[in-house]
Amino acid sequence: MISIAEARALILAEARPLPPERRALTDSLGGVLAEPIAAPHHVPPFDNSAMDGFAVRAVDTAGAGPEHPVALIMRDTIPAGADSWADVGPGEAAKIMTGAALPPGADAVVEVEASEEVGGKVRLFREVVPGTSVRLAGEDVAAGDVVLQPGDPIGPAEIGILASLGFPEVLVCRRPRVAIISTGSELVEVDQPLRPGQIRNSNSYTLEAQCRQLGLEPDRLGIAPDDYEATRALVERGLAYDVLITSGGVSVGEFDFVKDVQDALGVERRLWGVAMKPGKPLAFGVREGCLVFGVPGNPVAAMVSFELFVRPALMRLMGHRRVLRPTHRAVLEEDVANRYGRVHVMRARAWREGDVWHASSTGPQGSGILRSMVKANGLVFIPDDVGVLRAGETADMVLLREEWLEP
């Protein structure tokens, strides 16, 4: 058996970014850019007012104050979006709205709160200098600036910049197509009644959900009963995808056919068995551009295997350079024994006090106890050689849900 890090290295060695494709801007969210983006024009495109107020020549406000307003002649009113303006001459002011183009002659704006209109004049109670409350053309992005690079992940801010620069489509790495198969003659689908000896298929749904959190839309191909031919037929379909995830049937049971089927279909195995608990019997291989994951059937093992191995591989296919969650050191709240001789991936509730992370077990940690995941916002890695880690000692931890952080 190999370590988590070794297994991950073997897997990532097979995962290369998929070729780029053009996507509609809104659809590129969560993807990774595959082209550099140079600004075709300034943002903002023209000098404009940062306030509702009066566009003036700054020199005309010299000496103005709360007790000594200066009075200027009011000319145009310039709403946002207007495309023509009279010049602002000496002794003149133009009423201007936020975002409207600064008229020729003016070099500053006095906010409406420091003004008073009387007849055809405006009194200004404040002295300004050139540039006051003016947003200069190109102050956000100058024409020609390379604002985004290939490999940049696309989030809401990137979408906003691309919109402001006039990119209705962008080149992003293609999203992997993912197939999910559950194996087990005991499984029935979520909407079916349970007969004696049956349980409901949950893995297909957790695995699908974990893919969806990456912005992917996997296909659930269904349940393969523990039968060689049936498993083979479904796995063969799954091999047409970029990534195939099967759950269950990959251990040493008499009816575990997944590895035999993979072998028969030409999947080249890269690993089987990782020194961790849960999740030991992970099988990973490749066939003609398809990454083939056989994750164990126990529901927690399936989820943890996805988190530690499938997720980084999918992210690499999507073009991400950073595919691993950051690791923190966390102080354990209670003693945790590990006599398995494998890394114990403990589901934990994590929180922070000052700069120090703390983690507490979410309760019974069996590989089939899915409730241990329900309450978890972190995974803590208890090394294989410790015997017992005492309360107050530290271990590595990754956060699964940052937004759950509260003491």
Query: Which of Mg ion, ligand AMP, none does residue 53 bind (CB under 5 to 8 Å by kind)?
Result: none
User: If binding is defined by CB under 6 A, does position 296 make contact with ligand AMP?
Assistant: yes
Single-letter amino acid, residue 157: A
Radius of gyration, alpha carbons of the chain: 31
Please choose, from the candidates 33, 18, 50, 51, the residue with its C-alpha nearest in 3D space to the C-alpha of residue 165.
33
Query: To the nearest whole angstrom, how small is the minimum distance from the Cβ of residue 275 to Mg ion?
Result: 22
Pick the closest to residue 123 from 172, 74, 180, 177 (CA basis). 74
Question: How far does CA 129 lie from the centroid of its chain?
Answer: 44
- Quick note: the x/- pattern for ligand AMP over 243-282, rule CB under 6 A, is ----xxx-x-x-----------------------------
HSE of 218, CA atoms in CB hemisphere, 13 A = 27
Report the partner that residue 247 touches, choosing among Mg ion, ligand AMP, none (CB closer than 5 to 8 A by kind).
ligand AMP
Q: Helix (H, G, I), strand (E, B), or coil: what is residue 8? A: helix
* Residue 258 C-beta: closest distance to ligand AMP, Å: 8
Question: In the chain, what's the furthest Cα-to-Cα distance?
Answer: 96
- Span near ligand AMP by CB under 6 A; candidates 96-104, 148-156, 164-172, 194-202: 194-202
Tell whether residue 199 is a contact of ligand AMP (CB under 6 A): yes
Q: How far is the CB of 256 from ligand AMP (least distance, A)?
A: 6
**Binding partner of 365, given ligand AMP, Mg ion, none, CB within 5-8 angstroms per partner class:** none
Q: Considering the rule CB under 6 A, would residue 153 count as an interface residue with ligand AMP?
A: no
- Which phi and psi angles does 283 have, rounded to 5°? -115, 130
- Closest to ligand AMP by CB, 160 vs 253, is 253
Mark residues 163-192: x for contact with ligand AMP by CB under 6 A, - for none.
-------------------x-x-xx-----
Q: Contacts with Mg ion in 51-90 (CB under 5 A)?
A: none
Q: Is 118 exposed, middle or buried (0-12, 13-18, 19+ CB in 10 A)?
A: exposed
Determine the residue type at 389. Answer: L
203 membership: H or E segment, kind and range: helix 203-212
Q: Which of 17, 53, 238, 249 binds Mg ion (CB under 5 A)?
A: 249
Measure the CA–CA gap between 98 and 102, rounded to whole angstroms.
10
User: Could you give the CA distance from residue 97 to residue 109 in angstroms, rounded to a whole number?
Assistant: 10
Whichever of 63 and 196 has its CB closer to ligand AMP, that residue is 196
Residues 6+ apart with CB under 8 A from 147: 37, 38, 39, 141, 161, 165
40 binds, among ligand AMP, Mg ion, none (CB under 5 to 8 A by kind): none
Whether 208 and 220 have beta carbons less than 8 Å apart is answered as yes
Binding-site member from 17, 153, 176, 184 for Mg ion (CB under 5 A): 184
Q: Which residue among 218, 248, 299, 378 contacts Mg ion (CB under 5 A)?
A: 248
* Contact status, residue 153 vs residue 87, Cβ threshold 8 Å: no
Q: How far is the CB of 184 from Mg ion (least distance, A)?
A: 4
Distance CA 57, CA 79 (A): 19
Rounded distance between C-alpha atoms, residue 17 and residue 176, angstroms: 9
Q: How far is the CB of 238 from Mg ion (least distance, A)?
A: 17
Q: Residue 350 has which token pair?
A: 């994590």
Q: How far is the CB of 251 from ligand AMP (least distance, A)?
A: 5
Residue 198 near ligand AMP by CB under 6 A: no
With respect to Mg ion, which residue has the nearer C-beta, 186 or 396? 186
Of 130-138, 140-148, 241-249, 273-281, the window that binds Mg ion (rule: CB under 5 A) is 241-249
Q: Residue count at the site for ligand AMP (CB under 6 A)?
A: 18
| Least CB distance to ligand AMP at residue 305 (A) | 11
Are the C-beta atoms of residues 291 and 14 closer than 8 Å to each other? yes
Residue 127 carries which DSSP code?
Answer: -
**Which single residue brings its beta carbon nearest to ligand AMP?**
297
Nearer to ligand AMP, 79 or 253 (CB): 253
Q: What is the DSSP-derived secondary structure letter of residue 111?
A: E
Cα end-to-end distance, the chain, whole Å: 38
- The span from the CA of 218 to the CA of 28, in Å, is 17
Output 238 or 297, the one with its CB closest to Mg ion: 297
Among 115, 133, 201, 372, binds ligand AMP (CB under 6 A): 201
Q: Does 299 bind ligand AMP (CB under 6 A)?
A: yes
Residues found near Mg ion in the complex (CB under 5 A)? 184, 248-249, 297
Residues found near ligand AMP in the complex (CB under 6 A)? 182, 184, 186-187, 199, 201-204, 247-249, 251, 253, 296-299
